[in-house]
Amino acid sequence: PECTDPSNLSAINVTSAEADLLWTDNANSNLNNIEYGIAGFTQGNGTQIMGTSNNPETISGLNTETTYEFYVQSDCSVNQSQWIGPFSFTTLPTTKLTSAFCDSSVNSLTTNIKALPVTGAESYTFRFTDPISGDIIIYESPTRTVSLSNFSITYDVTYNVDVAVKLNGVIGNYGPVCQLTTPPIPTSRLINALCDDTVIGLNSTIKAIEIIGATSYIFRITNGTDVYVYGSPTRIINLS
Protein backbone atom coordinates (compact mmCIF):
# COMPACT_ATOMS: atom_id res chain seq x y z
CA PRO A 1 0.00 0.00 0.00
CA GLU A 2 1.05 3.56 -0.65
CA CYS A 3 2.63 5.51 2.22
CA THR A 4 1.28 9.02 1.78
CA ASP A 5 3.73 11.89 2.03
CA PRO A 6 3.58 14.15 5.09
CA SER A 7 2.77 17.84 4.60
CA ASN A 8 2.50 21.21 6.35
CA LEU A 9 5.96 21.16 7.87
CA SER A 10 6.53 23.94 10.39
CA ALA A 11 8.48 24.90 13.49
CA ILE A 12 7.04 26.43 16.67
CA ASN A 13 8.34 27.48 20.07
CA VAL A 14 11.66 28.38 18.50
CA THR A 15 14.21 29.70 21.00
CA SER A 16 17.92 30.31 20.71
CA ALA A 17 18.70 26.62 21.29
CA GLU A 18 15.49 24.59 20.74
CA ALA A 19 12.56 24.18 18.37
CA ASP A 20 9.45 22.01 18.08
CA LEU A 21 9.13 20.48 14.61
CA LEU A 22 5.67 19.44 13.46
CA TRP A 23 3.91 18.24 10.34
CA THR A 24 0.73 16.56 9.15
CA ASP A 25 1.01 12.76 9.13
CA ASN A 26 -1.22 12.09 6.11
CA ALA A 27 -0.35 8.37 6.18
CA ASN A 28 -1.49 8.04 9.79
CA SER A 29 1.66 6.01 10.28
CA ASN A 30 2.39 7.39 13.77
CA LEU A 31 6.02 6.73 12.96
CA ASN A 32 8.12 9.30 11.16
CA ASN A 33 11.74 9.94 10.31
CA ILE A 34 13.29 13.40 10.62
CA GLU A 35 16.54 14.81 9.35
CA TYR A 36 17.70 18.32 10.18
CA GLY A 37 20.79 20.46 9.94
CA ILE A 38 22.11 23.93 9.24
CA ALA A 39 20.50 25.38 6.11
CA GLY A 40 22.03 24.02 2.94
CA PHE A 41 23.10 20.68 4.40
CA THR A 42 23.09 17.63 2.12
CA GLN A 43 20.50 15.02 3.02
CA GLY A 44 22.21 12.04 4.54
CA ASN A 45 24.70 14.26 6.35
CA GLY A 46 22.25 15.82 8.79
CA THR A 47 21.07 14.76 12.24
CA GLN A 48 18.50 11.97 11.95
CA ILE A 49 15.69 10.99 14.29
CA MET A 50 14.26 7.70 13.10
CA GLY A 51 10.93 6.13 13.96
CA THR A 52 9.65 8.88 16.23
CA SER A 53 6.05 8.89 17.35
CA ASN A 54 6.34 12.46 18.60
CA ASN A 55 4.59 15.18 16.65
CA PRO A 56 5.79 17.79 17.39
CA GLU A 57 9.35 16.58 17.93
CA THR A 58 11.55 18.78 20.10
CA ILE A 59 15.14 19.26 19.00
CA SER A 60 17.74 20.97 21.16
CA GLY A 61 21.40 21.91 21.24
CA LEU A 62 20.95 24.32 18.32
CA ASN A 63 23.23 27.25 17.62
CA THR A 64 21.93 30.72 18.37
CA GLU A 65 20.79 32.98 15.52
CA THR A 66 21.20 30.21 12.93
CA THR A 67 18.94 29.06 10.10
CA TYR A 68 18.14 25.33 10.07
CA GLU A 69 16.24 23.08 7.65
CA PHE A 70 14.45 19.81 8.24
CA TYR A 71 12.84 17.00 6.24
CA VAL A 72 10.20 14.46 7.30
CA GLN A 73 9.42 10.97 5.99
CA SER A 74 6.46 8.82 7.06
CA ASP A 75 7.28 5.22 7.95
CA CYS A 76 4.45 2.82 7.15
CA SER A 77 6.49 -0.22 8.20
CA VAL A 78 6.17 -2.02 4.83
CA ASN A 79 7.30 1.05 2.93
CA GLN A 80 8.07 4.71 3.42
CA SER A 81 6.93 7.97 1.90
CA GLN A 82 9.15 10.39 0.07
CA TRP A 83 11.28 12.75 2.11
CA ILE A 84 9.37 16.04 2.23
CA GLY A 85 11.12 19.37 2.78
CA PRO A 86 13.10 21.29 3.48
CA PHE A 87 11.30 23.63 5.86
CA SER A 88 13.54 26.33 7.30
CA PHE A 89 13.47 28.22 10.60
CA THR A 90 15.90 30.51 12.40
CA THR A 91 16.82 30.32 16.07
CA LEU A 92 16.62 33.43 18.21
CA PRO A 93 19.66 35.53 19.11
CA THR A 94 21.03 35.85 22.63
CA THR A 95 22.54 38.85 24.35
CA LYS A 96 24.67 39.68 27.37
CA LEU A 97 25.91 42.70 29.31
CA THR A 98 27.99 45.16 27.32
CA SER A 99 31.77 45.05 27.74
CA ALA A 100 31.59 48.01 30.12
CA PHE A 101 29.67 45.88 32.65
CA CYS A 102 30.60 42.28 31.83
CA ASP A 103 33.15 40.96 34.34
CA SER A 104 33.30 44.39 35.91
CA SER A 105 32.42 46.36 39.04
CA VAL A 106 29.97 49.16 39.73
CA ASN A 107 30.34 51.95 42.28
CA SER A 108 26.67 52.33 43.16
CA LEU A 109 23.55 50.20 43.65
CA THR A 110 21.71 52.65 41.39
CA THR A 111 24.06 52.36 38.40
CA ASN A 112 22.43 51.87 34.98
CA ILE A 113 23.68 48.73 33.27
CA LYS A 114 23.20 47.75 29.62
CA ALA A 115 22.83 44.65 27.49
CA LEU A 116 23.99 44.36 23.90
CA PRO A 117 21.19 45.45 21.53
CA VAL A 118 19.11 42.92 19.57
CA THR A 119 17.18 44.15 16.55
CA GLY A 120 13.42 43.87 17.08
CA ALA A 121 13.71 43.03 20.78
CA GLU A 122 10.48 43.56 22.71
CA SER A 123 12.10 43.28 26.14
CA TYR A 124 15.23 42.22 27.96
CA THR A 125 15.09 39.95 31.01
CA PHE A 126 18.02 40.41 33.39
CA ARG A 127 18.83 37.60 35.83
CA PHE A 128 21.11 38.11 38.86
CA THR A 129 22.34 34.99 40.66
CA ASP A 130 24.24 35.07 43.94
CA PRO A 131 26.64 32.10 43.54
CA ILE A 132 27.05 31.73 47.30
CA SER A 133 23.46 31.90 48.54
CA GLY A 134 21.87 30.73 45.29
CA ASP A 135 19.38 33.60 45.42
CA ILE A 136 18.04 34.62 42.00
CA ILE A 137 16.57 38.01 41.10
CA ILE A 138 14.86 38.53 37.73
CA TYR A 139 13.66 41.75 36.18
CA GLU A 140 12.14 42.25 32.71
CA SER A 141 12.90 45.63 31.17
CA PRO A 142 11.31 47.11 28.03
CA THR A 143 14.75 48.45 27.06
CA ARG A 144 18.29 47.14 27.19
CA THR A 145 19.18 49.66 29.90
CA VAL A 146 18.11 49.05 33.48
CA SER A 147 18.93 50.59 36.85
CA LEU A 148 20.30 48.35 39.57
CA SER A 149 17.74 49.97 41.87
CA ASN A 150 15.20 47.59 40.31
CA PHE A 151 16.98 44.64 41.92
CA SER A 152 17.16 43.79 45.61
CA ILE A 153 20.90 43.25 45.40
CA THR A 154 23.35 43.94 48.21
CA TYR A 155 26.77 45.42 48.66
CA ASP A 156 30.05 43.53 48.24
CA VAL A 157 28.72 40.58 46.21
CA THR A 158 29.90 39.27 42.86
CA TYR A 159 26.77 38.27 40.96
CA ASN A 160 26.43 36.11 37.88
CA VAL A 161 24.33 38.10 35.42
CA ASP A 162 22.78 36.84 32.20
CA VAL A 163 20.17 38.33 29.91
CA ALA A 164 17.37 36.87 27.76
CA VAL A 165 15.64 38.72 24.95
CA LYS A 166 11.99 38.56 23.86
CA LEU A 167 11.28 38.41 20.12
CA ASN A 168 7.87 37.83 18.54
CA GLY A 169 6.40 37.26 21.98
CA VAL A 170 8.90 34.50 22.85
CA ILE A 171 11.57 34.87 25.53
CA GLY A 172 14.68 33.08 24.33
CA ASN A 173 17.42 31.40 26.28
CA TYR A 174 19.72 33.35 28.54
CA GLY A 175 22.97 34.39 26.92
CA PRO A 176 26.55 34.15 28.21
CA VAL A 177 27.06 34.79 31.91
CA CYS A 178 28.91 37.91 33.06
CA GLN A 179 30.12 38.68 36.55
CA LEU A 180 29.19 41.99 38.12
CA THR A 181 30.57 43.04 41.50
CA THR A 182 28.71 45.51 43.69
CA PRO A 183 30.60 48.11 45.75
CA PRO A 184 31.86 47.43 49.28
CA ILE A 185 29.52 48.22 52.16
CA PRO A 186 29.72 52.03 52.45
CA THR A 187 30.49 53.92 55.61
CA SER A 188 28.61 56.89 56.99
CA ARG A 189 29.23 59.63 59.53
CA LEU A 190 27.42 62.55 61.05
CA ILE A 191 26.25 65.17 58.58
CA ASN A 192 28.56 68.17 58.13
CA ALA A 193 26.39 70.39 60.31
CA LEU A 194 26.97 68.09 63.29
CA CYS A 195 30.40 66.64 62.65
CA ASP A 196 33.06 68.24 64.92
CA ASP A 197 30.35 70.39 66.44
CA THR A 198 28.86 71.03 69.87
CA VAL A 199 25.26 70.14 70.72
CA ILE A 200 23.13 72.37 72.89
CA GLY A 201 21.66 69.66 75.08
CA LEU A 202 21.63 65.93 75.91
CA ASN A 203 18.25 65.56 74.25
CA SER A 204 19.50 66.95 70.92
CA THR A 205 18.84 65.09 67.71
CA ILE A 206 21.77 63.98 65.58
CA LYS A 207 21.73 62.76 62.02
CA ALA A 208 24.01 60.59 59.84
CA ILE A 209 24.66 60.93 56.12
CA GLU A 210 22.09 58.85 54.25
CA ILE A 211 23.19 55.60 52.61
CA ILE A 212 20.87 54.33 49.86
CA GLY A 213 19.52 50.90 50.72
CA ALA A 214 20.51 51.08 54.39
CA THR A 215 18.14 49.20 56.69
CA SER A 216 19.70 50.48 59.92
CA TYR A 217 22.37 52.79 61.28
CA ILE A 218 24.59 51.95 64.26
CA PHE A 219 25.80 54.98 66.21
CA ARG A 220 28.85 54.61 68.46
CA ILE A 221 29.72 57.33 70.98
CA THR A 222 33.06 57.12 72.76
CA ASN A 223 34.03 59.08 75.85
CA GLY A 224 37.43 57.98 77.04
CA THR A 225 37.03 54.33 77.88
CA ASP A 226 33.23 54.53 77.86
CA VAL A 227 31.61 53.35 74.64
CA TYR A 228 27.88 53.67 73.90
CA VAL A 229 26.36 51.85 70.89
CA TYR A 230 22.86 52.38 69.61
CA GLY A 231 21.17 50.87 66.56
CA SER A 232 18.49 52.87 64.79
CA PRO A 233 16.20 51.95 61.86
CA THR A 234 16.73 55.49 60.57
CA ARG A 235 19.69 57.81 60.28
CA ILE A 236 18.33 60.11 63.02
CA ILE A 237 18.56 59.50 66.75
CA ASN A 238 18.00 61.53 69.91
CA LEU A 239 20.90 61.65 72.36
CA SER A 240 18.51 60.97 75.19
Which band of pLDDT confidence, cut at 50, 70 and 90, is reported for residue 82? very high
DSSP output for 119-184: TT--EEEEEEE-TTT--EEEEEESSSEEEGGGS---SS-EEEEEEEEEETTEE------EEEEPPP
CB of 180 closer than 8 Å to CB of 168: no
Q: How far apart are CA 215 and CA 30, in angstroms?
A: 62
Say whether pLDDT at 59 is over 70: yes
CA–CA distance, 197 with 62 (Å, rounded to integer): 67
102-116 pLDDT, tens per residue?
A: 999 999 999 999 999
pLDDT in tens, 180-223: 999 998 899 999 999 999 988 889 999 999 987 788 999 999 99
Q: What is the pLDDT of residue 91?
A: 93
> By the 8 A CB rule, do 81 and 74 touch?
yes
pTM of the model: 0.71
